[in-house]
Amino acid sequence: MLLAVDVGNTQTHLGVFDRDNLLYEWRASTDAGRTADELALMFGQFLALAGLSFTRSITGVAISSVVPPATQELREMTLKYFGFPPLVVEPGTRTGIGVMTDHPREVGADRIANAVAAHEMYPNEGVVVVDFGTAITVDAVSGEGKYLGGAIAPGIDTSAAALFSATAQIQRVELVAPPSAIGRNTINSVQSGVIFGTASLVDGLIERVTQEMGGSEEGTVSVVATGGLAGTVVEHCRRVGHIEPMLTLRGLRLIFERNFPGVRAEADGVEARAGDKQGQQGAGPTFPEGCAGSRGI
């Protein structure tokens, strides 16, 4: 089984795959100060909820992270507790898509994983990926599987926090959609501005990106949304056709399989091997000749 880990600025999303199937998934707050041992404690508790452990069933770990200190601690944790190096999505990792930006090394690993999964969902089609996180990213992927670039805007919570901290008379409110766009009190006015305003921002960016991709007519380019806050806004967007909450994790699975195709085929024998090796560190993935551990290149 594969453990996929997506480390965002605010949340860390974990999922366990058996072949193509996502069996379990959990979310935790991201803390860049957690040590490898503290991460192991957290991961171990999640795995225990599913009847799994470091030495039982998990044969690979794939990581995307936009928090460098956490990335390093996750590397150490995986080596120490799983007994093998993780695949970290980074420059040089085989992903199966071309990155056509001016500075490919600057593109976040989560955006690459999203692009990989979106292209798998919509092969031979242009697709726009909207990720609702600490920041909102709107990314373009061509039908040929090339990541073209995108836009970055403040996320819902980020925008609201800036508003609350910079204004003396506006208090924090629950970030839900109000009854109407015309707020008749301060609470509803703030909710309208944040929720409906974000929806309009996203629709506007999708329209511009779609036009630049050559799909000026609605429907010629597919649009998929993901991210922990997608559900708050997407129902108020006119241009988002589909929500896939697990898009990043599914992208990590695809990237892992493209780097270590043999590991997937071992899934049927995992339980027997784990029983034979109780008390020992996990066998982990068998790295193809020429691959440099966590670099996957």
pLDDT tens-digit readout, 238-297? 999 899 999 999 999 999 999 998 765 344 444 433 333 333 334 444 333 333 333 333
Q: Which residues contact 183 (CB under 8 A, 6 or more apart)?
A: 189, 190, 191, 192, 193
pLDDT tens-digit readout, 175-206? 999 999 999 999 999 999 999 999 999 999 99
| Short-list 50, 48, 43, 41, CA closest to 27 | 43
Q: How far apart are CA 250 and CA 256, in angstroms?
A: 10
Residue 43 has a pLDDT of 97
Instruction: Kindly list the structural domains of the chain, giving each domain's residue range(s) and its CATH number in brackets, ordered by start.
Output: 2-88+260-295 (3.30.420.40), 124-246 (3.30.420.40)
Q: How far apart are CA 94 and CA 88, in angstroms?
A: 11
pLDDT tens-digit readout, 65-82? 999 999 999 999 999 999
Active-site positions?
A: 110
Prediction pTM value: 0.86
Q: How far is CA 212 from CA 108, 130, 152, 216, 237, in A?
A: 22, 16, 16, 8, 20
